[in-house]
Structure 1
Amino acid sequence: MKKTCYCVLAEVIGTFWLVLGGCGSALIAAHAGGGGIGLLGVSLAFGLTVLTGAAALGHISGGHFNPAVSIGLWAGGRFGAARVLPYVLAQVAGGLLAGFALFNIVQGDPWFLLDPTAPGAFASNGFGPLSPGGYSLTSAVITEVILTAMFLIVIMGVTRNRAKGSIAPLAIGGALTLIHLISIPITNTSVNPARSTAVAVFAGPGAMSQLWLFWLAPIAGAVIGALLYRLMDRNTPQA
């Protein structure tokens, strides 16, 4: 019980860090000074939050920081069913705390204007009129499912045994960076329901009305990826 509490706390902190670093970079630094860090910088920021968070907290909770990852690892036989709900609740709580912190930080910028009808408002995810590139619902579904599936394949592969454990945060952070480079123009990149929820509640009714997709598609993709990896792993002779 005591260990579970520490795991839950680690997931709160790790998800807080992911949303603060990733969404904070998008909100504050992406266009700072007329130039800012842009798409590449924001993508790296998300990757770095996972890299550093997993390196710091992975030995405590596994460093999921994402409901889709927890559910995917359960589907892949790597995570106990009884721990899924506490992890998901912790991840959503950590994300919302970071969203609340960011909302109060940006209020201090006299030029900040929150337009709930704008694509990517408050770093939110969206499709159709709320997609940064105007991409359709179908494009968003395909993108989120495939990229989350690949994310789980990477996670399960690099955590296959302890010998690979030292490179796991780097590989997972690199995968998340690549995912953002591909999909920021399409959905503003979710692959993480907690990250999407954390900003949607502050972005307004538009983002909230589309939030369902950024729960269903990443979870579906995570389960598909985990099951594919589990199938391959079971049927591959061990060295």
Structure 2
Amino acid sequence: MKKLLVEFIGTFFLTLTVATAAVLGTGTPYAPFAIGSVLMVMIYAGGHVSGAHYNPAVSLAVYLRGRSSLQDLISYIVVQLLAGVAAVFVAKALVPGQGVDPLALKSTPTLISELLFTFALAWVVLSTATAKATSGNSNYGLAIGFTVLVGAITVGSISGGAFNPAVSTMLLVIGKLRIGDCWLHFLPQVLGAVVAAYAFKTTHPEDR
């Protein structure tokens, strides 16, 4: 239960920051720094309890890598998505009356952006937080948070810079992501997580 509570708290603050700072514009032009920073501090706060996934794609990668059970995967994803939805209501209460213009997404650039940086994020999580060679390090939160910061700055204007199905769920509920475009986020995010898991297993054959 405590792991699920940690996952809810971390995912909630991550998606709330994206919703307020980026979607509703309270943090412009510094939203990417806020997003990367909140992810970093929430990882440091909860990593020793739940693994600090805060992202269904990361949870999938960790499961495929062999470091979590199917039960944990399912329960983590449910809690993370619920946190993303809860963040929408709080964000709207914090910034009442703020309109949201849907993202104007182009299929190929969006698919590539979300695939590459979801892969990068899952790869960094697996390599810094689950690998034997980096066991006990205290820098994984910084590495993971800065991966999201880099992605948000690099392709945020192309795809929305989600790299996280919980964030995409928040974008969908708040009206930033059109229902007809949601596959442009969810599909590459899942693929990025799968590719990262198997890339890690290929490059770390001793890590079981």
Same fold (TM over 0.5): yes
The one-letter amino acid paired with 1:208 is: I
Give the drift of 1:150: 1.4
The one-letter amino acid paired with 2:140 is: A
Aligned pairs for 1:26-45 (under 5 A) are: 26=22, 27-30=24-27, 37-38=28-29, 41-45=30-34
User: Could you list the runs of 4 or more consecutive aligned residues of structure 1 that deviate by over 2 angstroms after TM superposition?
Assistant: 161-165
The structure 1 residue matched to 2:166, chosen from 181, 194, 198, is: 194
Task: Name stretches of at least 5 consecutive residues in structure 1 with no aligned partner.
Answer: 31-36, 121-129
**Maintained 8 Å contact 2:115/2:192:** yes
The structure 2 residue matched to 1:6, chosen from 2, 8, 31, is: 2
The structure 2 residue matched to 1:153, chosen from 116, 123, 135, is: 123
CA separation of 1:57/1:141 partners in 2, compared to 1, >3 Å: closer, same or farther? same
Give the drift of 1:113: 2.8
Q: How many pairs does the alignment contain?
A: 204
String of CA shifts for 1:1-34, please: whole Å, max 9, x gaps. xxxx11111111111010112321112424xxxx
Give the structure-2-normalised TM-score.
Answer: 0.91
- In structure 1, C-alpha distance between the alignment counterparts of 2:157 and 2:25, rounded to whole Å: 18
Mean Cα deviation higher: 161-170 or 17-26: 161-170
The structure 1 residue matched to 2:111, chosen from 141, 144, 149, is: 141
String of CA shifts for 1:81-109, please: whole Å, max 9, x gaps. 221110000000111111111122221x5
Give the structure-1-normalised TM-score.
Answer: 0.80
What is aligned with 1:126? Answer: none
- In structure 2, C-alpha distance between the alignment counterparts of 1:195 and 1:94, rounded to whole Å: 9
Give the drift of 1:235: 6.5
The structure 1 residue matched to 2:155, chosen from 168, 173, 183, is: 183
What is aligned with 2:19? Answer: 23
Aligned pairs for 1:1-239 (under 5 A) are: 5-26=1-22, 27-30=24-27, 37-38=28-29, 41-107=30-96, 112-114=98-100, 118-120=101-103, 130-131=104-105, 136-159=106-129, 160-161=131-132, 163-203=135-175, 207-234=178-205
Give the drift of 1:164: 4.6
String of CA shifts for 1:147-180, please: whole Å, max 9, x gaps. 1111111111111246453111011111110111
**Maintained 8 Å contact 1:28/1:106:** no
Any idea what SS the aligned residue of 1:63 has?
A: coil
- In structure 2, C-alpha distance between the alignment counterparts of 1:163 and 1:156, rounded to whole Å: 11
**Maintained 8 Å contact 2:18/2:167:** no
Bigger radius of gyration among the two: 1
- In structure 2, C-alpha distance between the alignment counterparts of 1:189 and 1:210, rounded to whole Å: 14
Tell me how large the CA RMSD over aligned residues is. Answer: 1.8
**Maintained 8 Å contact 1:76/1:223:** no
Task: Name stretches of at least 5 consecutive residues in structure 2 with no aligned partner.
Answer: none
Mean Cα deviation higher: 175-184 or 71-80: 71-80
The one-letter amino acid paired with 1:103 is: K
What is aligned with 1:127? Answer: none
- In structure 2, C-alpha distance between the alignment counterparts of 1:145 and 1:15, rounded to whole Å: 20
Give the drift of 1:213: 2.6
Any idea what SS the aligned residue of 1:65 has?
A: coil
